[in-house]
Amino acid sequence: SVLNINDLANAVKITSLPGEELKVKIIQEGRESDQGVGFLPDGTMVVVEDGRNLINKTLNVTVTKVLQTSAGRMIFAKP
């Protein structure tokens, strides 16, 4: 049996849940017109709705959705 290292690493990471608060610095624009993007210390991308005007600010956000794939995790949040 062969283990996928990405799947193994993702299995042992602490998962953020909808409703949880995170602190993140918005560092760039997102794909959609109103999104801002930041990253957690473990490299997880956090997409913040209505975050485009908050670039270079650190704020508490509330998790709305978590997507987990073999390539990694994306968290969607709102301020």
Name the residue ranges covered by the structural domains of the chain: 5-78
Q: Is residue 11 pLDDT above 90, yes or no?
A: no
Question: What's the pLDDT score for residue 13?
Answer: 66
The band of 14, judged by pLDDT with boundaries at 50, 70 and 90, is: low
Q: Is residue 9 pLDDT above 80, yes or no?
A: no
61 and 35 Cβ atoms separated by less than 8 Å: no
Three-state DSSP class for 79?
coil
Q: What CA–CA distances, in Å, run from 30 to 25, 35, 50, 67? A: 13, 5, 10, 16
Question: What's the pLDDT score for residue 28?
Answer: 97
CB under 8 Å to 57, separation ≥6 — which residues? 25, 26
Q: What CA–CA distances, in Å, run from 10 to 4, 44, 72? A: 10, 11, 7
Question: What's the pLDDT score for residue 5?
Answer: 83
Q: Is residue 27 pLDDT above 70, yes or no?
A: yes
Q: What's the topology of domain 5-78?
A: OB fold (Dihydrolipoamide Acetyltransferase, E2P) (2.40.50)
